[in-house]
Amino acid sequence: MSKGKRVFVAIPAWTELRRSAALFRESHPEYHVRWLKHEHLHITLVPPWQCSDIEEVCRIVHEVAAMFPPVPLSFDTIAATSSKRKTRLIWAIGQAPDKLHELRRELQAKLGSAPDEREFLLHLTLARFSWRERMDFSALPESVEWRGSLTSLSLYESILHPSGAEYRVLCENLLTPLRDG
């Protein structure tokens, strides 16, 4: 019996954010890392889980997206991080606005997922590298000014391969702009 698909809810990287990430990548040819493809760049709000009812989850994501106006987001730092799973990352990091926390809590409540015990960190993964790699990241952290707006939410499928994850958008939903008057 199939467990369904491995899915997560995320903000797709907007055009200017993808362009900024590409410029950062081009300016650091000395980093021998596995850069994420520009079409795979996203900001995860609800981490991956196994899902067998994609249609229902898309309906919920649509419902939540309709409740919120676009949210301004910004990233101010690029940093190299380590995790306990022996994967190391290069992230763009920013301060999450209150409205993003509210949106994330609403998604978790409607999806029936337990709130994440960890504090939410607004981040965009740019690259991964093995813990075996001895990289010189002395130039990091690096200050940046990447700005834009969260205008849509997507449900992604994550397909794991030995060479890295592949992401497919299963549904995308626009946030509702505020109306004047």
* Domain boundaries defined on the chain: 5-173
* Mean pLDDT for the stretch of residues 156-160: 93
Share of the chain above pLDDT 90, in %: 70
pLDDT at 181: 44
Structure tokens at 127: 């690259």
Eight-class DSSP state of 4: -
Mean residue pLDDT of the chain comes to 88
Eight-class DSSP state of 114: P
Instruction: Please tell me the distance from the alpha carbon of residue 180 to that of residue 172, in angstroms, as a whole number.
Output: 25
- The pTM (predicted TM-score) of the whole model is 0.88
pLDDT at 55: 96
Q: Select the more confidently predicted residue: 39 or 129.
A: 39
Residue 105 has pLDDT above 50, yes or no: yes
Structure tokens at 174: 């626009």
Structure tokens at 13: 């990287």
- For residue range 61-101, list pLDDT tens digits in order: 999 999 999 999 999 999 987 655 555 889 999 999 999 99
Which neighbouring-strand residues pair with 28? none
CB 46 within 8 A of CB 112: no
pLDDT at 154: 97
Residue 167 has pLDDT above 50, yes or no: yes
pLDDT at 1: 47
Query: Rounded to the nearest 5°, which phi and psi values hold at 37?
Result: -65, 145
CB 9 within 8 A of CB 133: no
Architecture of the CATH domain 5-173: Alpha-Beta Complex (3.90)
* Mean pLDDT for the stretch of residues 25-34: 90
